[in-house]
Structure 1
């Protein structure tokens, strides 16, 4: 048994929404449903999986814009992010205006996440790491069996998340990457919020923002 995933780019920002599932039970979660709800429902149907929850890494509109209608359509709870992102979720109407997105009403998740929490997806487990810096309540989800991490906007191939938004902080973000993500291992593949996949090892060796001169192997 293992954790499977399919990336579905959504919204004009082409944000990576991930449908993840346990191949033993076919129970699934959707990580960062930023929009394009009908498209996500169609992919879920094609995959033949049963979505039991939506999981949010942080409160930015392009990652949460489809949350409420999708949760309602699928009748599932919304898990995460960390409660320090409450102001982003409460500010969604303003974010909608600012970015020219369809109006997204403020909402609270069913459950906030804390560092060290675990989320079950079928028989698979996601470990939760609180990784502030891009937003104060950002979390990263890690599955040890598949060596896969869903990192939202913390880390990208060749880049890191912006820290010029309200309550963003550059040193905090760098510290979160180096102390929370790197210890998970160089062989971990990560799915960023935007753009192509990479590995922690590749970024440690080559990413100009966070490279630490560690050898790849």
Structure 2
């Protein structure tokens, strides 16, 4: 039994949308469908995955833009993010204008997520970790069995998420990374919302924003 995933960069923003599934049952979820819905559906069908849920890490347009179209096409519920990002989902029309995206109507998920919730598909489970800072309602999805985390825009290979958007907060983000993610273990591999994968251990060594403090001699 093992969790499988395929990350698909979509739209000119090249944000990572992840198709995640249980290889025993071929049931799966899609994390942060930012756009190019027909392309994503083609990949889901080619993989042979039965999509059960759309899961959102946060409410920014570049990560949720394809959600209404995909929900309608696949007839699946939308899970997440945390309710503190409701204002982002309600402001999608303004976000569309700001980023130059096609207009997206506001929507509410089928279910908001909270710290400690789980998302199940087939024989796999993703643990929900509330990680505010980039947005107040951001969540990270962690598979203990696979030692993999889908971290959205909290942490990147060599960088961290922006905190200059409304209700973003730099220190809150740093605390989320160090207090919520690092305890999961250095060997955990993570898939960020943009760019290449890395591990928590690698970022603790080399990421200029959140590397462990070097001892002073």
Q: Same fold (TM over 0.5)?
A: yes
SS in 2 for 1:58: coil
Aligned equivalents of 1:156, 1:121: Cα separation in 2: 26
What secondary structure, in the 3-state scheme, does the structure 2 residue paired with 1:196 have?
coil
| Matched residue SS, 1:96 | helix
Matches within 5 A, 1:65-144: 65-144=65-144
**When the two structures are superposed, what TM-score results if normalisation uses the length of structure 1?**
0.98
The answer for the alignment partner of 1:49 in structure 2 is: 49
Structure 1 gap segments, 5+ residues each: none
Count of residues in correspondence between the two structures: 214
Distance, in Å, in 1 between the alignment partners of 2:184 and 2:71 is 31
Question: 2:40 aligns to what SS in structure 1?
Answer: helix
Which residue of structure 2 lines up, in the alignment, with residue 179 of structure 1? Answer: 179
Determine if contact 1:205/1:213 at 8 Å carries over to the other structure.
no
Q: Aligned equivalents of 1:21 and 1:213: distance in 2?
A: 37
Q: Residue in 2 aligned with 1:196?
A: 196
Cα displacement (A) at 1:122? 1.0
Distance 1:191 1:34 in 2: 15
Q: Residue in 2 aligned with 1:14?
A: 14
- Determine the C-alpha separation between the residues in 2 that align with 1:165 and 1:122: 36
Runs of 4+ in 1 over 4 A off after TM superposition: none
Aligned to 1:108, what secondary structure does the other structure show? coil
List runs of 5+ in structure 2 lacking aligned partners.
none
* Structure 1 residues 164-213: Cα deviation after superposition (integer angstroms, max 9, x where no partner): 00000000000000010000000000000000000000000110100014
**How large is the RMSD of aligned CA atoms in angstroms?**
0.7
Q: In the alignment, is residue 58 of structure 1 matched against residue 38 of structure 2? A: no
1:170 aligns with 2:139: no
Q: Kindly report which structure 2 residues correspond to 1:143-154, keeping only aligned pairs within 5 A, or say none.
A: 143-154=143-154
